[in-house]
Amino acid sequence: MKRVKTDFPRRVHEIEHVWIPMSDGCRLSARIWLPEDAEERPVPAVLEYIPYRKDDWGAMEDSTRHPYFAGHGYASVRVDIRGSGDSEGLLLDEYLPQEQEDAVEVLAWLAAQPWCTGATGMFGISWGGFNSLQVAARRPPSLRAIITLCSTDDRYADDVHYMGGCGLGMYMLSWATTMLAINATPPSPAVAGERWRDLWLERLEGSPPFVEAWLSHQRRDAFWKQGSVCEDYGAIEAAVYAVGGWSDAYRNTVFRLLEGLLGPRKGLVGPWGHQYPEDGVPGPAIGFLQEALRWWDHWLKGIDTGIMDEPMLRSWMQERVEPQPHYDERPGRWLADPAWPSPNVETRAIRLGFAGESICGSEGAGHSAGAWCGFGIPGDPPADQRVEDGLSLSWDSEPLEERLEILGFPEVELELSADRPQALVCLRLCDVAPGGASTLVTRGLLNLTHLESHEHPAPLEPGKRYAVTVRLNAIAHAFPPGHRLRVAVSPTYWPWAWPSPEPVTLTVHAGELRLPVRAPQPEDDVFAPFGPPEGAAPVEYEAAPAPSAGRALRYDAASGRYELTWAEEYGHGAQRLLGSGVEFETRGTDFYAIVEGDPLSALTRSEWTMTFARGDWGVRVETSSSLSADAEAFRVTNVLDAYEGDTRVYSKARSLSVPRDCL
Amino acid sequence: MVKNVLVPMRDGVRLAADLYMPDHDTGEPLPVVMEYIPYRKDEVVPGTRFYYDLPRHGYVVARVDIRGTGASEGVNTDEYVLQEQLDGYDAIEWLAAQPFCDGNVNMMGISYGGFTSLQVAAHAPPHLRTIIPMYFTDDRYTDDCHYRGGLLRKYYDVGHYGNFMIAYNVLPPYPEFSGGDWATIWEEHIERNEPYLLKWLAHQTDGPYWRHGSVRDIADRIQCPVFMIGGWRDGYPNPPLRLYQALEVPKKVLVGPWNHAVPDVAIPGPRIDHLHEVVRWLDHWCKDKNTGIMDEPPVVLFVQHSEKPAVDRLDAAGVWRAETDWPAPGAGERTLYLGAGNALADEAGAAGDDSFEYVPTVGVTAGLWSGGLQFGLPGDQRLDEAFSLLYTSPPLEGDLHVVGRPRAVLHAASTASVIGFAASLSDVAPDGTSHLVAKGMLNATRRTSLADPEPLTPGEVVELAIEIDTTAWRFERGHRIRLAVASADWPNVWPTPEPATNRVYRGESRPSRLVLPTVPAQGSAAPPAFLPSPVAMERHTDRPDPPVWEVVHDVLTGRTAVKIEEAGEVRINDSTVVAREYALTASCDPADPASASAHGRHVSRIRRPTAVVEGRSDVLVQASATHFHVTIDLELSVNGALHHSRSWVESVPRVLL
């Protein structure tokens, strides 16, 4: 249970809104929490910079963290990105140079404030974690350190659009639709005054559906390299604390950053989903804000907190669990590694007993995948893998004679051939219990036309044997003795992977599994576990009961059609902030359908509704998007409707056809 | 056509019959073909080939409503009762004495009409010339919609036949055909007819109730020639060849790849013009014409070949094969032993065992038991195989022809005292897809007797001889033979109540094995050439209003539901439209198999300018560890106003199943 802390060393003052002017005249809206006596005793500033509406949508989350930092002697700043929330301008896509340039100006403005010592930090989860890295790579003079959580350093490899060069059927559209809705919400009249409606209409007219651009770049081109700090790790000089969770989509980043960055760095990976570690589910959640303070104190105040003397990487070794739709906690223990790659990890190669077997892809192989990005919501974890194992070509080891712990990126190398020029491979590593239950350990995808390069794909030669190496997502897992390792190969993985245009049969001639085996180390037990989770008191609010979430797979046996529905994903009901009186509600449903044997039947649809109201002011935004493909092209449709009260003030439907590019 | 001829029985009750006569009546007496079923003769779909084609060839078709059903007088409380058989006898003798009849009466019918053909024939009515049973049983306990291997089938009863008969049996006769007595007949049906399914559920073990009407036991009483027709994807694949061996009269058997529909409209094809063969048969026996049919091989079977296991397909790959006798000349057996590493091998290897968890929702890819649903072929087995114990042979070095009844012998133990074992035989293609060839099940508590079950002692190893359904299949070179062992075939079979972990033993001392009936590559005779069916068919998914057959898995609770829905509407004459709806929802929580449930609903609606009559029956079976709790609600309304309603609420103890 998270401890609510109200007693801080310094009394906190909250500036609800202040304009930060950009050099082009656009103004960004900031909310700042800082010690009351900051003018007399200046403090460093830490910035969180995201598009998630600080006055309403993000208010509850923000209020648990920013006052906490402020109470410990920081100006903790929350800025709405240009075009979002109360800030002026338009938000035309994720992570554009404009966004990063604005941040550099924001940091300069903060450093110049009379209450600021001139030292700044940046932090954030997801979008805020991405831009912390991207801004750090621009080396703003005041920026000393960042904390990047659940983020990526490689926008093509590990983000919501592509995975292993495969298009993500799950999330790419859903996320785009969410952003289409967010970008279609107006600034608060309390800040914008009478101009709110003009600014709103400007946003409605000027914000494109992001998915159009994402789909137009199916290979790893300059579009994705922009904002991918892996292109030049050396550009980052600020100290980087990278945090991730095994249930989250972005855990690979922590390991790549530790390996690639040249400056001071630390990594932390817990069992969590896409959440701050003090709220992480599956647990155990940890006292991450205490840890963050030790980081800020070291880098922004020069206090010796000892944090940089500790192991570079702390990670949670997960025990094997039964496949279940939800875990409150994942049993395990904290590990300590001095560096990454870790001297404690060695590669063990295991020959896979494949010898020319074939696997004809089934569109059903992938419906037990669970969420691409876990949020600690029931239904997120992958289900029992036996169905997918049965629809895949599987290899099982003998039962393990002793416990086996792995940490890092398992790799699978296959010699394989495909019967079509366009094919993908999904590889899953499972832990099979003596009773037969198959628990997913980790997985990887590869678009086989990207064998040589994600930037220059080429069609396959049907029947030709290729050596294919697939790096699976990073993981820490302890296989109990008596359990078996299972490696499962499939040419389909819907709805994660958009299916290849024709049904594919893969033939696997040989294979090797390379496991990052880590022996338990005495250091693991030396370092104290983290403190208990704590945070500042959230703003007061009331919430209606959450609509019941639904995650159901429907299989029409008569036609072979699979339908996966994730209903009411957002997980809570209408909320009202007692202080400002703002009411808001977000609802969303995602839908995925495909017919067995017909990859061109793949369809995803995503619908979102966002409502905001205060007094007699009220707006509602509805988006509905769909994505499908024929053999030649993807077709994406976006519908946006906006209402003031019950009057529809804007409606637009747009459709785009994008040729398939080796996808 | 002569509507509603009243046929007097020996006790004075009159059955109603429609007579389909040749258009140009020459006055010459003709042979009669009687169809004897409870499905309301006045609602026959116009144009049904059987009723119009046979008269064109010089036969009178008599469509008789069974006592207590449709327009017939009397009361109807169960299927296949002795009274019904005696009535059939009386109807034959009455028909033979009519001026339009030359003294030859035949019986022919699919399903219920196939059952009655055999059962009445066992009473040897003097004027019964031949019978042509199609898609029938000769054993009401082992091979019908109620039980399988001593396990409860039920879903078809709840969702289809057992349910719709409740509503059918209170719908009114048509006044214009039944005359002044129609209301009296209707009132008697409403007041005194009973649901069959409560009786079926009260008889969970084999015994006299089921032996009655099982002609397998009394095949020698059948005195007339028999022409049997069956299908491999029908719910009754075993009786035709079994009964062929038992009969001591002139006989023929024809088994196609078909489901439970007559061979000119069955899936999968090839569909044939079976009425052409029927006329050749009748002409031979009734008109003494030399049609050559009795010179042709008596056993004709369709040997299926491997293909992609598509659920909605119109045709099956394969070839016709003929034999001069059954068992076929040259027939043998091939035994494959369950081995270590999930192998299926020619030799029994070292001793060992494999365990599997009882997952009660296994079976959703098996297809639907075929007793009248027009869809439901098995799909790719891999989804179910994921939760089964698999034994797979190496790729075959040559083709293997399996024709007959395979069996699996398992040495097995369970942690439960009540558990079933399912043995699925499938053909694994080189690309990994798995096509179900045939399946068998046995309730282990009935391993020594279907009549006197005894619970298992947990952990004790028992030998189970599981008969797999009769089939004809060519395993192609390079393909692999697979035996999948599970403890469920849901929703075709009701899950047993206890969670369990089961163990299958193998090796020389406990030689668990698969025994395949094999035949030479070529049949002992040349197969005849059939005329193709004149009826055009379309795939179900191409129909404007396709049936629903879906499996819904709730990710959060783990519960699985199978939902089946079908609806149709037929204009049976200028002023009458009959609409029917059939729905079944079967639910199972894999963590609590005892609590499985099934809810069926049937609606029959007769719309006429003068009135709308609607019969609606709801059957809910909610199981617990110890009981089946059954609720039946029947409502009959006229022009929207409730005319009659009745409910039955019963709790039936589970008898080791």
| Amino acid found at B176 | E
Top pLDDT among B310 and A288 is at A288
Q: What integer best gives the mean pLDDT of chain B?
A: 96
Question: Of B348, B308, B361, which is closest to residue B560 (Cα–Cα)?
Answer: B361
Kindly tell me if the per-residue pLDDT of B554 is higher than 70.
Answer: yes
Structural tokens at position A3: 């401890």
List the one residue out of A220, A218, A216 whose CA is nearest residue A208: A216
Q: What is the pLDDT of residue B271?
A: 97
On whether the CB atoms of residues B193 and B77 are closer than 8 A, the answer is yes
pLDDT at residue A246, rounded to an integer: 98
Predicted pLDDT of residue A621: 97
Pairwise CA distance, residues B86 & B9, whole Å:
9
pLDDT for residue A570: 67
For residues A585 and A578, give the distance between their C-alpha atoms in angstroms, rounded to a whole number: 15
Q: What are the φ and ψ backbone dihedral angles of B536, each rounded to 5 degrees?
A: -85, 140
Does the beta carbon of B340 lie under 8 angstroms from any beta carbon of chain A? no
Amino acid at A11: R
Report the 10 Å Cβ neighbour count for B331.
17
Q: Please, are residues B154 and B598 in contact by the beta-carbon 8 Å criterion?
A: yes
Per-residue pLDDT at B274 = 97
As a whole number, mean pLDDT of residues B449-456 equals 97
Extract the tokens encoding A659: 């040729």
Residues B279 and A502: their CA atoms lie apart, in Å, by: 48
Closest-CA residue of B relative to A392 is B432
Please return the burial class of B535, using the count of CB atoms within 10 Å of its CB with bins 0-12, 13-18 and 19+. Answer: exposed
Report pLDDT digits (tens) over B219-273.
999 999 999 999 999 999 999 999 999 999 999 999 999 999 999 999 999 999 9
Distance CA B640, CA B657 (A): 41
Residues 6+ apart with CB under 8 A from B341: none
Predicted complex: ipTM over 0.85: no
Asked if B431 reaches chain A (Cβ–Cβ under 8 Å), the answer is: yes
Cβ atoms of A124 and A132 closer than 8 Å: yes
- Interchain pair B386, A386: CB under 8 A: yes
What's the pLDDT tens digit per position in B506-543?
A: 999 999 999 999 999 999 999 999 999 999 999 888 88
Q: SS3 sequence, B107-126?
A: EEEECHHHHHHHHHHCCCCC
Q: Does B308 touch chain A (CB under 8 A)?
A: yes
Selecting from A391, A554, A560 the residue whose C-beta is nearest the C-beta of B382 gives A391
Residue A325 near chain B (CB below 8 Å):
yes
User: HSE of A288 in the Cβ direction (CA atoms, 13 Å)?
Assistant: 29
Q: What are phi and psi of B464, to 5 degrees?
A: -120, 125
Question: Packing angle between helix A127-136 and helix A97-111, nearest 10 degrees?
Answer: 80
Q: Are B127 and B134 in contact (CB under 8 A)?
A: no
CB B385 within 8 A of CB A364: no
- B490–chain A Cβ distance below 8 A for any pair: no
| Radius of gyration of the CA atoms of chain A, in A | 24
Question: Which residue is it, tokens 């569109």?
Answer: A363
Q: Which amino acid is at A164?
A: G
User: Mean pLDDT by 10-residue block, N- to C-terminus, for chain A (663 residues)?
Assistant: 94 97 98 97 98 94 97 98 96 98 98 98 98 98 98 97 96 94 94 94 95 98 98 98 98 98 98 97 97 98 96 98 95 97 98 94 94 92 94 95 98 98 98 94 98 97 98 98 98 98 97 98 89 96 85 89 86 87 93 95 96 94 97 97 95 96 96
Looking at beta carbons, which residues of chain A come within 8 Å of B364? 555, 557
Q: CA-to-CA distance for A493 and A602, rounded, in angstroms?
A: 12
Location of structure tokens 């396709």? B546
Residues of A with Cβ-Cβ distance to B308 under 8 angstroms: 597
Q: Is A580's Cβ below 8 Å from some Cβ in B?
A: no
Question: Is residue A223 exposed (0-12), middle (13-18) or buried (19+ Cβ within 10 Å)?
Answer: middle
Q: Closest partner residue to B432 among A359, A379, A596, by Cβ?
A: A359
Question: Which two three-digit tokens encode residue B74?
Answer: 């009397």
If we measure between CA atoms, which residue out of B296, B373, B303, B389 comes closest to residue B338?
Answer: B389
pTM: 0.88
Looking at the DSSP bridge assignments, the partners of residue B305 are B474
Amino acid at A423: A
Instruction: From chain B, pick out residues whose CB is under 8 angstroms from the CB of A550.
Output: 554, 556
In the predicted model, what is the mean pLDDT of residues B6-30?
A: 93
A555 in contact with B, Cβ within 8 Å: yes
B336 near B393, Cβ under 8 Å? yes
- Minimal Cβ distance to A362: which of B311, B356, B380: B380
Q: Distance between alpha carbon B39 and the CA centroid of its chain, in Å?
A: 16
What is the Cα–Cα distance from A153 to A151, expressed in whole angstroms? 7
> What gap in Å lies between CA A146 and CA A44, rounded to an integer?
13
Cβ distance of A391 and B558 shorter than 8 Å: no
Alpha-carbon gap, residue B31 to B60, rounded angstroms: 6
| CA B35 vs CA A224, A309, A621, B20: distances in Å | 74, 93, 65, 11
Q: Are A315 and A335 in contact (CB under 8 A)?
A: yes
| CA B70 – CA B67 distance, rounded (Å) | 8
Residues 384-403 of B with CB under 8 A from A: 384-387
Q: Which amino acid is at A360?
A: C
Per-residue pLDDT at B375: 87
Q: Which residue of chain A is at minimal alpha-carbon distance from B383?
A: A387
β-strand pairing of B389-392 with B480-486: antiparallel
Give me the pLDDT at residue B373, please. Answer: 85
For B638, list phi and psi in degrees, rounded to 5: -125, 120
- From start to end of B507-573, where are the E strands? 513-518, 548-554, 560-573
User: Over the range A553-567, which residues count as b (16 or more CB within 10 Å of their CB) and which as e?
Assistant: bbbbbbbbbbbbbbb
Q: What percent of chain B has pLDDT over 70?
A: 100
* Residues B311, A560: C-beta atoms closer than 8 Å: yes
Residue type, B319: V
A residues 73-92 closer than 8 Å to B (CB): none
B61, two tokens = 């078709």
The pLDDT of residue A559: 85
d(CA A45, CA A26) in angstroms, rounded, equals: 22
Contact A272, A376 (CB under 8 A): yes
How close is the nearest chain A Cα to the Cα of B575, in Å? 34
